[in-house]
Chain A
């Protein structure tokens, strides 16, 4: 996944989705928009990868889905972070900072 045009690092999509849902429940398109917006349009979520990831996270019990009505008055499935998801997000964030710190360390040394 994610090799053609987006600049998403492999394995980070789940974490980004959890992060996008941190503040409020969102539907699929809004999740993609939020990731794009948070990254100042650097990161673009491949639409085709979004839903499998959402279903995977739901099966893990990190997010929960329910039908609602979107801002454009359409039916949409809203995803909400569960307490377990929140914990997972914290784990991932911690893990991510350690990895990036390590990578920085490696990359900054000549």
Chain B
């Protein structure tokens, strides 16, 4: 517009020049003729109905003035919005960074996890290799399936030996996940059989770090566990699976080394399958059930009572985290709900108190639309400020939360790239805005029903009808109830965590150093007794170090993953049915294990180191020869108290006998020589303590052993001398994963701790919001009753009485809310039951503490408004109203 006017003036100037005026005169004449450009512009703007823009400006100015006039209301609303939106955005961001990431594979929904289970009791177990081969041969619902198991192997290159994570896979593994090698070739069936040359694929990371990204490594040979292995390819950068595994090797050639050729052997391997397009999980389940029962019929001894289990790979991988999801998501929803209720309540209370203002403005000629827009603008302004503050809260909280994420939750090895969840921010913002607008507009909308005269006349009651106030009160009650539920939920999981972490483990994890030592069995040509003697000697050497109290070797380090179970039957009892054959977790240890772990011996004795050793006929025995040797060897066994009580209740277990081995492959007779205390070495919250121990001399299983060293002081101080001693002892086997035993325990706790902290964080926010809400409503109420308080004070009411009346009013809202919350919590309790340990969902201590916390928050929220009420200056109050 300005340009058009300018052009017009210029044209006039030109015309005047043509008429013979000088440029200066011409310009002056033109401007005179035209008039002030600014005035014209302004008049044009009016005409053009640019009015709305100016009105918006006026609305905004007015809104800002209103905010300043009611600072408490504004502050409380903005804080609510900031906390509600900010906290939810941050927490949700953390959740989506950890738990909700889709699996990094093409069409991840088609990936299925398969393992085996006992039909009776539904215990899952690893898949036996022959069973897997039958599955692979018979199944038709998967486009491919692959067995896999991870292990650490000794990899020798040049002079150095390293401990490297290796994933043993079927040749179809990469196809199943949806990858092709970036370099070289994929495995073929010809790589995946007994007796063929061994091959390996490197992860991109291993290729980079260990081989300097040298493309010529393909075709080179390296040495894994004493075996020559040819590098055939490199995986793409995008490959993600268990991050510990740097190498992939086909399982076929290793099956015999790992004793996996027997159908009875269910060792650590599980199966992943990719469903054919359009096939659903249930169809696959039905087929696998049929296949499993066919195998069961064919091999009743080994497969009696064993079926297949299928779940989606995602459920399998995030399974444990899943249980907490419901809880966390409910917490997110509750906090958002509380924030909305808060906003609704505040805005409602605020706008109800303005009905006189509305009436005046309506009387002065403001249309309903105009008033609605004014309120809308005010809500918008508040939401905008609150949302911006929420963004700041979210950013701050996110940084704090990310540092809490335990590494274990991110098993695919991606670094924690925090993903700020804009959707959540937008969602929280929209929901709170909608609430604010809805409740803020209600009074303006009802304008028609407001009688101007009544509103203007009715000075003492200051407006709002009882019905409206009741709604506000109900909102506060609801809010207190919701907060109660969350605080109780948080209290329950917190107490579970405490119970879990303070429960006696049954051994002393302090002052114990643990370390893994690579197995020499490959180098020793598979001689089991020699491998056992190797660890026995290592433990003895460590035990002689200065500052060491006791040292021992164990087949399974405490909290270092234990899957050693073995079947057995008790002597002199009827032979149990194969489907219900007893089985128990066991450990193979050297004689000082119980001293080093601090596990008390309750009865009899433990191992002496003098047990007759396993002695197969030849240096490198085959399976048959080994079994023969085992059958001829009477073994000593040590059992836990629970074990003794379960199998010989009320009897002296010493001297009793067990027959070790599955129903169809009886191995050795074990004589119980001692009973030790129960101890929790597998997982926190372990319920089953029926375990037994065998001597490394008698069952030097082919596995790798760990070493534990109890020092007289700080075990970390021993680290160097232990490492040096092991180096002197063996230069070929790697020493790795050295950790203070207590830190292994702490790691297991960390995932759980993380979730508990999240829930506790939500509860804290909820509590704060509820307190803010109560405070806001009460403060508002007091503000509106200033005149009433003034009169009462003037008539001689004591300030104490005024304070009491505010508290009474506050608690009239808090107590019903609390009661409802307690009821709701006890009803919801069953849904968190699986998250709890050692306490009931209706734990009295938690309920009491949570109620206490709410009451304290309520007292604080009442306190300030009450104080203000009691300090009203009567004269001031009467004059201003």
Contacts and interface: CB of A to CB of B under 8 A. Distances in A.
A55 B35 contact: no
Nearest to B46: A52
B4 A28 contact: yes
B237 interface: no
Interface in A32-74: 46-48, 51-53, 55-56, 58-59, 70, 72, 74
A75 B48 contact: no
A77 interface: yes
B5 interface: yes
B39 A29 contact: no
Interface stretch (B10-18, B259-267, B487-495): B10-18
Contacts of B48: 55-56, 58-59
A29 B47 contact: no
Given A47-B33, A48-B34, A48-B39, A55 B10 contact: no
B157 interface: no
B120 interface: no
Given A48-B34, A48-B35, A75 B47 contact: no
A13 interface: no
A47 B47 contact: no
Contacts of A46: 35
B11 A70 contact: yes
A54 to B, nearest CB: 8
Nearest to B49: A59
Interface residues of A, number: 19
A51 B11 contact: no
B8 interface: yes
B7 A47 contact: no
A8 interface: no
Q: Which of B36, B40, B47, B49 has the most CB of A within 10 A?
A: B47
B43 interface: yes
B856 interface: no
B61 to A, nearest CB: 26
A77 B3 CA distance: 10
Contacts of B11: 29, 70, 72, 74, 76
Nearest to A77: B4
B7 A74 contact: yes
B39 A76 contact: no
Contacts of B46: 52
A74 B40 contact: no
Contact of A55 (B7, B14, B34, B47): B47
A47 B35 contact: yes
A51 B4 contact: yes
Interface string B160-181: 0000000000000000000000
Contacts of B3: 75
A5 to B, nearest CB: 10
B471 interface: no
Given A28-B4, A29-B8, A76-B7, A51 B40 contact: yes
Contacts of B43: 48, 51-52
A55 B44 contact: yes
A58 B8 CA distance: 18
Given A48-B35, A48-B39, A48-B40, A28 B47 contact: no
A74 B13 CA distance: 13
A56 B40 CA distance: 13
Contact of A52 (B12, B14, B47, B49): B47
Contacts of A47: 8, 12, 33-35
Contacts of A51: 1, 4-5, 8, 40, 43-44
Contacts of B36: 48
Q: Which of A47, A56, A77 has the most CB of B within 10 A?
A: A47
Interface in B650-680: none
A28 B9 CA distance: 11
Contacts of A28: 4, 8
B39 A72 contact: no
A32 B10 CA distance: 15
Nearest to A53: B47
Interface string B794-816: 00000000000000000000000
Interface range on chain B: under 10, 10 to 19, 20 to 34, or 35 or more?
20 to 34
Given A47-B35, A59-B47, A52 B8 contact: no
Interface in A72-102: 72, 74-77
Given A59-B49, A72-B14, A76-B7, A52 B34 contact: no
A27 B12 CA distance: 13
Contacts of B8: 27-29, 47, 51
Contacts of B44: 51-52, 55
Interface string A1-45: 000000000000000000000000001110000000000000000
Contacts of B4: 28, 51, 76-77
Contacts of B39: 48
B100 to A, nearest CB: 52
A52 B7 contact: no
B257 to A, nearest CB: 85
A81 to B, nearest CB: 18
Nearest to B14: A72
A107 to B, nearest CB: 33
A76 B44 CA distance: 17
Given A28-B4, A51-B40, A56 B47 contact: yes
B414 to A, nearest CB: 55
B755 to A, nearest CB: 61
Interface in B21-70: 33-36, 39-40, 43-44, 46-49
Nearest to B9: A47
B40 to A, nearest CB: 5
Contacts of A29: 8, 11-12
B467 to A, nearest CB: 45
B35 to A, nearest CB: 3
Nearest to A76: B7
Nearest to B43: A52
A27 B11 CA distance: 11
A79 B12 CA distance: 18
Contacts of B33: 47
A70 B47 CA distance: 25
A39 B775 CA distance: 75
Contacts of A74: 7, 10-11
B153 to A, nearest CB: 78
Q: Which of B39, B43, B49 has the most CB of A within 10 A?
A: B43
A72 B10 CA distance: 11
B128 to A, nearest CB: 83
Nearest to A32: B8
A36 to B, nearest CB: 12
A55 to B, nearest CB: 4
Interface string B289-333: 000000000000000000000000000000000000000000000
B40 A75 contact: no
Nearest to B4: A77
A59 B1 CA distance: 14
Interface string B380-423: 00000000000000000000000000000000000000000000
B11 to A, nearest CB: 5
B40 A52 contact: yes
A77 B44 CA distance: 15
Contacts of A58: 48
15 contacts: A27-B8, A29-B12, A46-B35, A48-B36, A48-B39, A51-B1, A52-B46, A55-B1, A56-B47, A56-B48, A58-B48, A72-B11, A74-B10, A75-B3, A75-B7
Which are the 10 A-B pairs with shortest beta-carbon distances? A48-B35, A56-B47, A52-B43, A47-B34, A55-B47, A55-B44, A55-B48, A52-B47, A77-B4, A29-B11
Interface of B: 1, 3-5, 7-8, 10-12, 14, 33-36, 39-40, 43-44, 46-49
Given A48-B35, A48-B39, A72-B14, 14 more contacts: A27-B8, A47-B35, A48-B36, A51-B43, A53-B47, A55-B47, A56-B47, A59-B49, A74-B10, A75-B3, A75-B7, A76-B11, A77-B4, A77-B7
